[in-house]
Chain A
């Protein structure tokens, strides 16, 4: 009954995932659960998904993230399932840049186990490392709360999006934005302009939905134009090897990237 064309289309959408037929092919074609020891998985946390599953995940995670803004894992899943093309562009951009290509080769990770907190603490005031540590303390966040990438079907791209997530806190420090909802939206706008990831664009557009009118006014009139301007002007922030720049004064780094001071201090911000 189903026209042949539709049937082939459906089969193609499901191809990476057919555990019952065990069709050989790319890594994702292998029965999922047989890959318990890494055979068929591109990286340890990898979960191969078909096109249909990615579409459902994207829609479901978008809805759930809007419904319950505390589900950060849903924002992450949205990013992973919708970002394939953009991640490729980002990865190519990183390859062309000398510092970026180093990052791709060495694959540094920002987590509590890789950071030398004592050394960062001893750095002079105003340096990137010291300010980053201060940001973590003041906002009571930890770099370890980022969920690992699961649904990206390319190992290098999985690293790129993982790096993007771990650099997010750096961006807060660079832009001087706190982690309240207003600050997060501003950083999202900056990221949307910089990376073009669909998840950032969606977050930037739909994030302000739950804001009060006053916050919206401040956001639209001052913060967003500032974020967009700086995003456009600055080179790709993923190309910065932050681990080598801990001693660099924050002010100097901001000048290098062309980031101006934020329009108003956090104490003057209206309550979202």
Chain B
């Protein structure tokens, strides 16, 4: 299974953003461009510079993208089941907390990157729908006399049940998007939802487009995290918010040992028994260890240009929500 060497991006968007971009990325080009004359010393430095981690393995940067793609291609079908098994259902609470922190209002434009199976997107849609309905109820109660237009609109069901909110789910992996679309169809989510194939390091969107950018459990799989952060900064509107939910460093030593024990002993076994895939889940737990700590990541976010960057550790630091604003 060779990694694809070019990525085609389409945007399916029901409302008018019908730009189709054909983007071909050559793997050799982007990673090692020191910008100076290449002497012998530069060559060896360059070689070291293009290596990165894949879990505890060392691979070249070009390889990493392909290997990560293969991991998620093979886990896609059992992704949600395995999430529930591995976190004992707690991942749902984490994602709910992310939404509550976001507090979207009707009219918010959300970009959910690495959002493959749609967990964040569906929660967002539920939230804004509930909010919008609440607002409508309050309006009804407040003013018993509605205008004739409003009454007519209600009868025609023309009102947008989401109040103008839209969510765009972007993922680099076709399999994950496929599963997400299947879920959406099964659970009846249609309005306000769009699915785009795209790379977090080079998003297929214009500048200043979104109110909120989220990336849940995705950024540790990106080869160049700084580029993903820069892209996030680019596509957000001024005043927009960056939110990242990711595994982080545990602050309590006892819990840390238990967590390591559980991660390395139990999770690959679960992966083998339930999904028939030991190695993908080994990669998953190793990639968590390779991700920077809360403070380090906060600094990386600040480097990308975000301000008022804060983080909140959940479950003793097993996960953390980082938040920043483009001001």
Within 8 A of A (CB), among B59-83: none
Q: How extensive is the interface on chain A, given as a class? A: 20 to 34
Q: What CA separation (Å) do A185 and B261 show in the bound complex?
A: 38
Q: How many residues of B contact A (CB 8 A)?
A: 22
* Cα A34 to Cα B269 with chains together (Å): 20
Report how far A61 CA is from B264 CA in the complex, Å: 18
Q: Which of A20, A47, A73 contacts B289 (CB 8 A)?
A: A20
Any B CB within 8 A of the CB of A74: yes
- Determine whether the beta carbon of A73 is less than 8 Å from that of B276: yes
Q: B264-297: which have CB < 8 Å to A?
A: 264-266, 268-270, 272-274, 276, 278-279, 282, 286, 289
Contact among A14, A19, A36, A74 for B273, CB-based, below 8 A: A74
Do A33 and B56 form a contact, CB below 8 Å, given A14-B261, A56-B266, A56-B269?
A: yes
Q: B260: which A residues are within 8 A, CB to CB?
A: 20
Instruction: Assess whether B273 is in contact with A60, with CB atoms less than 8 Å apart.
Output: yes
Contact of B56 among A34, A53, A60, A61 (CB under 8 A): A34
Contacts of A64 in B (CB 8 A): 273-274
Cα A52 to Cα B261 with chains together (Å) = 10
In chain B, residues 214-252, which have Cβ atoms closer than 8 Å to a Cβ of chain A? Answer: none
Q: Do A47 and B278 have beta carbons less than 8 Å apart?
A: yes
Provide the residues of chain A in CB contact with B264, threshold 8 Å: 17, 19-20
State how many angstroms separate the Cβ of A13 from the closest Cβ of chain B: 9
- Residues on A with beta carbons closer than 8 Å to the beta carbon of B158: none
In the bound complex, residues from chain A placing their C-beta under 8 Å from that of B204 are none
- Residues of chain B within 8 A (CB-CB) of A50 are 265
Closest to A54 in B: B269
Interfacial residues of chain B within 111-158, with CB under 8 A of chain A in the complex: none
Residue B57 at the A interface, CB < 8 A? yes
CA distance A161 to B50 in the complex (A): 41
What residues of B have a CB within 8 angstroms of the CB of A14 in the complex? Answer: 261, 265
Give residues of chain B (19-58) contacting chain A, Cβ–Cβ below 8 Å. Answer: 54-58
Does any Cβ of B come within 8 Å of A32's Cβ?
yes
Chain B residues within 8 Å of A150, by CB: 278
- In the complex, A57 has a CB within 8 A of chain B: yes
A-B contact count (CB 8 A): 52
- Say how far B88's CB is from chain A's closest CB, in angstroms: 15
CA of A57 to CA of B286, assembled, Å = 20
Tell me which residues across on chain B come within 8 A of A103, comparing CB atoms: none
- Distance, CA A49 to CA B192, complexed state (A): 47
| Interfacial chain A residues near B269, Cβ < 8 Å | 53, 56-57, 60
Report if A178 contacts B (CB, 8 A): no
The interface residues of chain A lying within 8 Å CB-to-CB of B286 are 19, 33
Q: How far, in Å, is B290 (CB) from chain A's closest CB?
A: 10
Residues of B within 8 A of A77 (CB): 272-273
Smallest CB-CB separation from A21: which chain B residue? B260
| A176 interface residue per 8 A CB criterion | no
> At the interface, yes or no: A31 with Cβ under 8 Å from chain B?
yes
Point out the residues of chain B lying under 8 angstroms from A31, CB to CB. 56
Q: What is the distance, in angstroms, from A146's C-beta to the closest C-beta of chain B?
A: 15
Q: Is residue A71 within 8 Å, beta carbon to beta carbon, of the partner chain? A: yes
- The verdict on A32 contacting B276 (CB below 8 Å), with A17-B265, A52-B265 known, is no
- A29 smallest CB distance to B (angstroms): 13
CA A130 to CA B276, docked complex, whole Å: 35
Query: CB < 8 Å: which of B265, B274, B279, B289 contacts A53?
Result: B265
* Cα separation A53 to B265 with both chains bound (whole Å): 6
Contacting residues, chain B, for A36 (C-beta < 8 A): 57-58
Contact B57 A33 (CB under 8 A): yes
The reply to whether A32 and B282 form a contact with Cβ atoms under 8 Å apart is yes
Q: Which of B54, B265, B279, B289 contacts A56 (CB 8 A)?
A: B265
* Distance in Å: Cβ of B281 to nearest Cβ of chain A: 12
Q: In the complex, what distance in Å separates the CA atom of A50 from the CA atom of B261?
A: 11
A33–B282 touching, CB < 8 Å: yes
Is A19 within 8 A of B56, CB to CB? yes
| Residues 160 to 191 of chain A near chain B (Cβ within 8 Å) | none
Q: For window 38-61 of chain A, which residues contact chain B by CB distance below 8 Å?
A: 47, 50, 52-53, 56-57, 60-61
Q: Note all chain B residues with C-beta closer than 8 A to A57.
A: 269, 272-273
- A residues 68-86 in Cβ contact with B at 8 Å: 71, 73-74, 77
Partner of B268, one of A53, A63, A71, A73: A53
CA distance A56 to B281 in the complex (A): 15
Smallest CB–CB gap between A177 and chain B, Å?
27
CA distance A230 to B277 in the complex (A): 38
Query: A74–B278 Cα gap in the complex (Å)?
Result: 12
Q: Which residues of B contact A73 (CB under 8 A)?
A: 276
CB neighbours (8 Å) of B289 from chain A are 20
A-B interface, 9 closest residue pairs, ranked by CB to CB distance from nearest: A33-B56, A60-B273, A33-B57, A56-B269, A36-B57, A33-B55, A64-B273, A52-B265, A57-B269
A-B contact pairs, 25 of them (CB 8 A): A14-B261, A14-B265, A17-B265, A19-B56, A19-B264, A31-B56, A32-B56, A33-B56, A33-B57, A33-B282, A34-B56, A36-B57, A50-B265, A52-B265, A53-B268, A56-B266, A56-B269, A57-B272, A60-B269, A60-B270, A60-B272, A61-B272, A61-B273, A64-B274, A71-B276
